[in-house]
Chain A
Amino acid sequence: MTIPFDLLLIQVINGIVTGMILALVASGLTLIFGIMDVVNFAHGELFMLGAYLGSTVFLTTGNFWVALAAAATGIGLLGAVIQTTTLRPLLGRDPLTTILATFGLSLVLQNYALWQYGPVPRKINEPITGHFSLFYLEYPWYRLLVAVLSAAIIGGLWLFMKYGKYGIWIRATTQDRVMAAAMGIPVPLVHTVVFAIGAAMAAASGVLFGPLTGVNHAMGLDFILRAFIVVVVGGMGNLGGSILAAIFLSLLEAFASIWVSPAQAVIVSFVVLILTLLFRPTGLFVPTPK
């Protein structure tokens, strides 16, 4: 069977768009893991709550950008609260206990959303509604905007980590927690702030993703699994690797969904993950450790 070129191109664009959103979710997850060895099972729920908070603010103000900023700030604060109350006491224990604690939190948050917002999906309107024609499709500009915005947020994070004073604090804490503390860096505060940043990024991606499929209480479950896969394939704690892995896996899934249903296309990601773990457990897109 030959694949028509236009179909292939459409799937490439689709793959990049979902890949960028996934990269935004996964980079928060990998940031949190890299700096405090916390596997945040509740990350998908922060993504989902961000989308809900965004939709609520959007309903009252009618402005998408206000909703985006409000959701990121609100969920960022929630992340700070979660970190200080739940994860700080677990510092220094086996990283596996953080999976358990955040799993408990994800149950709470997910059912809270169901209770608070009900089972009917909500809709966030797109801030721009234009289309451009792509072969036989009317492709919405908004999807491209999502990819660009995600890239901008990730780029902003990268610049902050590279050149900002606090970014340097964060990287120092990643490298050596004890030494960083000895140098006068307030390590507990750094942990809280990093968790808040990760949560805010999850919330922002939730709001960006909202107009594409609608907002419901189970959207976090789907995303957390894919984000986990991305983070492992990209190398735990490796920001650049996560982004590449997100785009790589989304492209593969987009191509696979030419032949099989999207639900089955997920298996491609699963297979990539297993192959990665077997042959290169440190991650696909990282230099070989010496």
Chain B
Amino acid sequence: MEHSLIVRSSDQIIFTSDQHWLYPLFELEDYLEQKNLTTQDLILTDKIAGKAAACLIVRLGIKQCHIELLSERAIPVFKLHGISFTYDHLVDHIQCRTEDLISDKMSIDDAWLFLRKRAGRVQGLSVKIDKLSVRIEDKLVINQLDLEMGRGEQLVIHGANGVGKTTFLRAILGLIPVSEGVIKVGDYLVGSNLWKQFRSVIGYVHQETIKNNFPISAGEVVQIGLGTTSVSKSENEYRIEVAMRRTGSFHLVNQPYLTLSGGEKQRVSLARCLCQNARVFLMDEPTSFLDPQGREDLLLLLHELSRNEAPTMILVSHEQNWTGQLDWPRKELKGGKLC
């Protein structure tokens, strides 16, 4: 087989890839999405497939495949989802760390998301914080704090009121000076000249205090995300529309921001971050002023974001009941450190 992946439709080759690991399958995903093709009648031929590849094949919706070298671990996945498969050689497992990391508890969607992150096919940037200390008026609020997050990962930080959660986020944003330590977002060192140019990679959704009475429409708030980007009016409108549709707030585009409910404002704020093309989202008590429906909507929206754009997300909140439903890793900020 000259290509690592071949896809046929009615005996005609419609897609090939020579990439390695799981990349051919991700390329195929892009191709199918671009061409808007149905996958039911496609036949996929892959050189090697383990459990990870099997999960991706299932998620692509392909029903028939032939694998040259197949891992036994892939078979239950194929059988469970009714995939018709053949193979040339069967082995116990393939030499790939990724196959070991896909647990049986993971759903196909979970595995897909995990693999996307591992393949770097997420919007998020890594966050690395090393021995961060922040003083506010002689009080050491953050004390030698360390944190490492991979691309597209999520984290909930909880802690009592006044413990320094907001200060921590503001330090990452570069809004307050740090006394000691280093914050790195992707390749950007917060505070450096390079970061000053690219600081819009971090989107900020702060506590909604409803004190702002500035006459501005929801669409104009989203437009703020474009920052200093100079684009044509039509491109401008297109970006705003895409971002607002993503967060289900496009119907609010012309409404005065002041008249929106708490939940609608949060949707608009997240759309602003998407319009900004932010790759790290920092959310400070986003449920403040949200009614039960607003909280439910926000939960769904964050789930959706983590599955699609998959930005790296840090959410701080003191509401443990609500954040518990997010199913994100959690840390507590206590004594200026994360534990």
Say whether A and B bind each other.
no
Q: Which B positions have Cβ atoms within 8 angstroms of A?
A: none
Q: Which A positions have Cβ atoms within 8 angstroms of B?
A: none
